[in-house]
Amino acid sequence: MIYIQKSDGAELQPLLDAAKNKDDANVYRAGPVYEKIKTDFHSKCYLCEDNEVTSIQIEHFEPHQNDLPKKYAWNNLFYSCGHCNNIKGANFWPLLNCTDAADQVWESIEIHFTPFPKTTVDILLSPSCPKKQEGENTRQLLEKALAGKGTTAMKTDEAAILRQKMLRVYNDLSLAIEKLDMDSIRKAISDNSAFAGMLRWYLKNDFPDLFQQVMP
């Protein structure tokens, strides 16, 4: 999970307000609202950071529970995948907000990926997390989404598929590190790359000098 600099949506909120009066959710499933969310989130699920999402969902960061102002608030609309959104539902609240720099989402939630003998992911809450309850809820949500712990058999299988995708970018970054290919290293951990949060932690923990060089 990384910080997402979301637009202020000033030109889009009027469209959302008009749709709110008819409770027409299509306003954010297509057209300018959808396109702006997709661009802002780099076409990545904000939770798992997969960028090859086959079940794209515009999800409500704070569960709206049929509260229409929450359902049609620009600030509450996030780009996610069906896997993560389904796990999240209304079960995890409050959470760290990846669009709020003050929440320090990347620094707060360490994603520790182990490639072998089988792929595993440990999600750790940093002692520096500025919001403990939000941080712990976020940690538990990501543990279900990425490690597949304590969830259904199907979700566990979906989490394993995500970890296979994570393994590919992990291996790509490992190769770039071996070759000291700085451009590729920078690209792998850039905001719009898949699983950038996990890769940044890998670099920070295992290659701290390189991390210092490439992180802005």
Task: Kindly state the smallest distance separating residue 50's Cβ from Zn ion, in Å.
Answer: 5
**Count, residues near Zn ion per rule CB under 5 A:** 5
What secondary structure does DSSP assign to 123-134, as a single string?
EEE-TT-S-HHH
Task: Kindly state the smallest distance separating residue 45's Cβ from Zn ion, in Å.
Answer: 3
CA distances from 12 to 30, 37, 96 (A): 13, 10, 24
CA distances from 53 to 23, 57, 90 (A): 26, 9, 21
84 binds Zn ion (CB under 5 A): yes
What are the DSSP E strand ranges found in 46-197?
56-60, 77-81, 109-114, 120-125
Site for Zn ion in 131-190 (CB under 5 A): none
| Cβ nearer to Zn ion, comparing 16 with 146 | 146
81 binds Zn ion (CB under 5 A): yes
Instruction: Answer whether 3's CB lies under 8 Å from 101's CB.
Output: yes
Task: Kindly state the smallest distance separating residue 145's Cβ from Zn ion, in Å.
Answer: 6
CA–CA separation, 124 vs 109, rounded Å? Answer: 6
Instruction: Answer whether 61's CB lies under 8 Å from 98's CB.
Output: no
Site for Zn ion in 44-73 (CB under 5 A): 45, 47-48
| Cβ nearer to Zn ion, comparing 15 with 167 | 167
Structure tokens at 26: 């299509």
| Cβ nearer to Zn ion, comparing 20 with 163 | 163
Interface characters, 9-48, with Zn ion (x: CB under 5 A): ------------------------------------x-xx
Q: Which stretch binds Zn ion (CB under 5 A): 28-36, 83-91, 174-182, 206-214?
A: 83-91
Structure tokens at 109: 């939630």
| Cβ nearer to Zn ion, comparing 45 with 189 | 45
Query: What is the contact surface with Zn ion in residues (CB under 5 A)?
Result: 45, 47-48, 81, 84
